[in-house]
Structure formats: structure tokens, C-alpha cells
Chains A and B, each alone.
Chain A
Amino acid sequence: MTAKLSANDLTLIRGESCLFQGLEFALNPGELLILEGQNGSGKTSLMRAIAGMLSLETGEIFWNGEPVSRQRQEFHGSLVWLAHRTGLKGDLTLVENLRFEGCLRRQAKVDKAAIYERLAISRLKRLPLRSLSAGQQRRVALARMLMADVPLWLMDEPFTNLDREGRQLVMDLTEEHLAKGGMCVMAAHQDVEINATIRKVRL
């Protein structure tokens, strides 16, 4: 049986250096893929490659057994990317930001109020994002991820800027997502305590 998300023989060369070569992985529903490696080892690059934003030297990424490059729109409709930079507009409020994101995707039936409550951002709804702390902005980015309600989460250093509670929250949310049959690719420095099938890629 082919895995839901898989990759074979990935090679990425940036400038003079080869970041990875012959890299392979496979991910099935309910599984977590952790990308390990030092700073600059290519975790973010691999994540961008999975999202289809970097062209690889060799190899291909498959979604449902089909190359991603041939079904870009469908693949992008199934993933959400929590990047290092939040990608939210500082001049807009939380609600305005998330409304825009919502318009780009199919309308998922999610309880927005419950998500705000869970992430402890409901009282920040009317403020421009610029005035929020980095950790709070991260929480808004998490809210965007939850609202998209898609199977694949790409999380690049999801714990950055978050307090202890926030880190626990990210782990809980990921665990719930995996329990529902979702998938997650996570680049992380620290140990994650998530109760699920964990696969690792060492860069």
C-alpha cells in the first residue's frame, strides 16, 4: 500500500553545499514525522520542498501516490503550513486576518469561538496583530491552522516564542489531530512528548 505522503531520493543543493541527498520518508494518517538536525541543516528547506516551493535536484514528493507537482492545487488544499514567519498582517486584526485566510479555502465547519478560547486569544480579537506579543501572534497562526481543518500540518519550529503552557497546547493539539487521522511534519529542536506513531528524519 502506498503511503499518503511519501518522498523518494530527495536531493537538494543550495549554492555550493548539498543539504541532503537520497532522502526518503513515508507518512500515513495518524503519524508524525519529525525532522531533526542542527541549525542550517536544511529542515526548513525540506519543509519548503514538501510544500512545493523549492525545486529539488532529484526526487519527487508524492501525495496519495501521485506526484505533488501534478496536483499542486489539490495538495495545497490539503495542507496548512505553520512557517517560521507567521504570514499574518500586522495592520489587520485577528478576525480580519483569519477571515481572509478563510476565503481562500473551502469553508470548514469549525467552531471559531471554541478555537479562540482554546488558544486563549478571544480577548485579542479586535486588536491589530502588530500590538500583540510574538507568542500571541504565534497563537493566532495556530488558530489559522486549526480553522483550515485539513489533513496535513507542516509545522516549522512550532514551539518558538511560546510559553510552557503554549508548548503543551501545541503538543496536545497535534496529538488530537493525529488521533483524528491527520498527519503532521514537524521540525523541532526540543523533545516532543506526543503519543502517536513517530517517524524521524535526521538531516
Chain B
Amino acid sequence: MDSPTQEQPGIFAGFIAITRRDLLLAWKRPGDVLNPLFFFAMVCTLFPLAVGPSPEQLTFSGPGVLWVAALLATLLSLNSLFMSDHEDGSLDQLLVSPQPLPVLALGKTFAHWIISGFPLVLISPLLAIMYRMSMDIVGVLMLTLLLGTICLSLLGSIGAALTVGLHRGTALLSLLILPLAMPVMLLGANTVSLAAGNEGYATGIWALGAYVVGAISLAPYATAAALRISNE
């Protein structure tokens, strides 16, 4: 028997296969999808109750609260990114599969974003209304959250890969990721605040976009390297 002579499937085959598998798994376990969403919704609903419902205060603090809640919800969900694969040994199988590991890592991160990041973007208009945001501002908020959650998922995948072998790595994971995630949150929250104050906010959107591009091109390689290290 000689080495395989037939073509290996293209790199997108691996990306699509793993994204599909993870989405299927999430479909069978909807709890994983709902957890970060619940957390996000709860923080955003409780905050006005605690600080009082005066309109000025809510308009002022709305972007910040929504963004902090989104950041924390994403951080909490990241721990599970590679955890179950590590526990049942399928991570080992991914490491010896003939597909390039960065592509598989990107596929897993993409699926994770669809499961836990994208729902936050979709639900944010509902919560924004509680903070008396106008419709144009809600659009800006959704755009920043869309770009921001992609960044956070990608950055978080590096941390999740580094801490995958550790039990209770959530705290460490958050510590590792926060310095990288902070600029995303600052950019996002300030962009929405600027938009709410009728000032130019395009710079913030562009900067977030640049962050996304940088993260997509670099994070998968870092994640793949981290997975190899923590699986030794």
C-alpha cells in the first residue's frame, strides 16, 4: 500500500466540516447557546434597576453597559471552546488529522462565534431600547458588536487553547485575554457614545474592522500553536 495518491480534500473542506459539526453539536445542546445570551440580557436588564431609571443616566451609560456585558458574556463562554473536545479525545484526533490545524481552529472559532457571539448582536436592539437609544444609534451599536464579538471570539480562542489542559482555567483565561480585549471594548463603547452625541464615529468602525482583519489573519496560527503546546 503506497502513500495516498488521491487528492486530499481542500482546506475549506476541513473548515466547513468542523463548523458544521460544532453547529450540529450546539443544536443538540441548546443550553450552550442560551447561557451567554441569558447572562448578557440579565446584566443589561438589571443595571437600570440598580442605578435608577432617569433617562439622562441611561442614555449616558447605555453603550458602556451593553459593551461590558457583551465582553463578559463572551469571556464566560470561551472556556468551553475546546473543553469538550479535549475531554473526549477528539482534540487529539484533530491534531493528527491531515487538515492544517489553523484552519480547523478558525472553523471551531467561527462556529463558536455563531453560537455565542452572533446571538448577542441579534438581541442587542431589544436591550438598547431600554437605554433609550434611537434607531440610528442601535444600528451603530449592532455594527460595533458584530465586529467586536468576532474579535473577542478570535482573541479568546488563543486563550482557550492555552488553558485547555487546566482545570478551572476560566479566571486565567480571562486574565490572559483582557489586555487584548480591552481595546475592542473601548473602541466599541466609545464609538457608540460618539454616535449618540452626534459626532463622527467612522474612525471607530474602521479601527474595529482593522482589528477584525488582523485577528482573523493571526489568531488561528496562535491558536494552533497553543493547542499543540497544551496538548503535549
Q: Which residue of the partner chain, among A83, A106, A128, A181, contacts B92 with CB atoms under 8 Å?
A: A83
- What chain B residues lie within 8 Å of A107 (beta carbons)? 6, 9
Q: What A residues does B93 contact at CB under 8 A?
A: 81, 83, 87, 101
The stretch from A32-40, A46-54, A163-171, A185-193 touching chain B is A46-54
Asked whether B231 lies within 8 Å of A105 as measured between CB atoms, the reply is no
Q: How many A-B residue pairs have CB under 8 A?
A: 101
Q: Which of A18-26, A72-80, A119-127 contacts B (4 or more CB under 8 A)?
A: A72-80
* Other-chain residue from A87, A89, A105 in contact with B8 (beta carbon distance below 8 A): A105
Q: Size of chain A's interface in residues, with CB distance under 8 A?
A: 39
Which of these, A76, A89, A182, contacts B97 with CB under 8 Å?
A76
User: Is B232 located at the chain interface by the 8 A CB criterion?
Assistant: yes
Most chain A CB atoms below 10 A, which of B3, B9, B17: B3
Q: How far is the CA of A110 from the CA of B201 in the complex (A)?
A: 58
**Interface pair B21/A52, CB less than 8 Å apart:** no
Q: Tell me if A104 and B96 are in contact (CB < 8 A).
A: no
Q: Which of A81, A106, A128 contacts B4 (CB 8 A)?
A: A106
The answer to whether A77 and B25 touch across the interface, beta carbons within 8 angstroms, is: no
A85 at the interface (CB under 8 A from B): yes
Cβ contact within 8 Å between B232 and A76:
no
Find chain B residues with CB under 8 A from A54 CB. Answer: 232
CA distance A182 to B3 in the complex (A): 10
Contact (Cβ within 8 A) B88 A104: no
Please give, as numbers and ranges, the residues of chain A lying within 8 Å of B20 by CB-CB distance: 100
- CB pair B28–A92 under 8 Å, yes or no, is yes
A104 touches B14 (CB 8 A): yes
**A88 within 8 Å of B (CB atoms):** yes
Task: Say whether A85 contacts B88, CB under 8 Å.
Answer: yes
A169-188 residues with Cβ-Cβ distance < 8 A to B are 180-182
Report how far A41 CA is from B24 CA in the complex, Å: 39
Residue among A53, A87, A108 with max Cβ neighbours from chain B (10 Å) = A87
A110 to chain B, nearest CB (A): 12
Instruction: Say yes or no: A96-B24 contact (C-beta < 8 A), given A78-B3, A151-B1, A151-B3.
Output: yes
A residues lining the B interface (CB < 8 Å): 29, 51-55, 64, 73-74, 76-79, 81, 83-92, 96, 100-101, 103-108, 128, 150-151, 180-182
Instruction: For the complex of A and B, list the 5 residue pairs with the smallest distance between their C-beta atoms, beginning with the closest.
Output: A85-B89, A103-B17, A77-B98, A87-B93, A87-B89
Could you pull out 16 A-B pairs where Cβ atoms are within 8 angstroms?
A53-B228, A53-B231, A55-B232, A64-B3, A73-B98, A83-B89, A87-B91, A92-B25, A92-B28, A100-B17, A103-B13, A104-B13, A105-B9, A106-B4, A106-B9, A107-B9
